[in-house]
Amino acid sequence: MTMKTDSVLKQDMENVCSADFIDWDRFRGKTILITGATGLIGSTVVNALLYANEKRSLEMKVLALVRNITRAEAKFSAYKNSESLKFIVGTVEAIPEIEDSVDFIIHGASQTASKAFIQQPVETILTAVQGTLNLLELAKRKKSEGMVYLSSMETYGHPQKGHKVSESDAGALSSLDIRNSYPISKQQCEALCCAYASEYGVPAMIARLTQTFGPGVDYNDNRIFAYFGRCIIEKNDIVLKTKGETERDYLYTADAVTAILSILLNGEKGTAYNIADETTYCSIAEMARMLADEADIQVTFDIQDAAANGYLSTLYMDLDTSRLKALGWKVMYPGGLPEIYRRMIECMHKE
Counting Cα atoms < 13 Å in the Cβ hemisphere of 208 gives: 31
The reported pLDDT for the residue numbered 3 is 37
Residue 126, judged by CB atoms within 10 A of its CB (0-12, 13-18, 19+), counts as middle
- Identity of residue 99: E
Q: Note if the pTM is more than 0.85.
A: yes
254 versus 303: the higher-pLDDT residue is 254
The reported pLDDT for the residue numbered 81 is 87
> pLDDT tier at 345 (50, 70, 90 boundaries)?
very high
- pLDDT tens-digit series, residues 319-330: 999 999 999 999
Rounded distance, CA 218 to CA 348, Å?
6
* 283 contacts 249 by C-beta, under 8 angstroms: no
- pLDDT tens-digit series, residues 107-133: 999 988 888 899 999 999 999 999 999
Q: Is the pLDDT of residue 172 over 90?
A: no
The reported pLDDT for the residue numbered 5 is 53
Task: Give φ, ψ of 236 to 5 degrees.
Answer: -100, 150
What average pLDDT does range 22-31 have in this prediction? 98
What average pLDDT does range 312-319 have in this prediction? 89
The reported pLDDT for the residue numbered 112 is 81
- Identity of residue 334: P
* 149 contacts 190 by C-beta, under 8 angstroms: yes
Q: Strand, helix or coil at 347? A: helix
Helix intervals (H) in the chain: 5-17, 40-56, 69-75, 114-119, 121-142, 181-200, 224-234, 253-266, 284-295, 322-325, 336-347
| Residue from 66, 19, 12, 40 nearest 265 by CA | 19
Instruction: Report the 10 Å Cβ neighbour count for 29.
Output: 11
What average pLDDT does range 65-94 have in this prediction? 95
The share of the chain scoring above pLDDT 90, in percent, equals 89
What is the chain's mean pLDDT, rounded? Answer: 94
- pLDDT tens-digit series, residues 272-302: 999 999 999 999 999 999 999 999 999 999 9
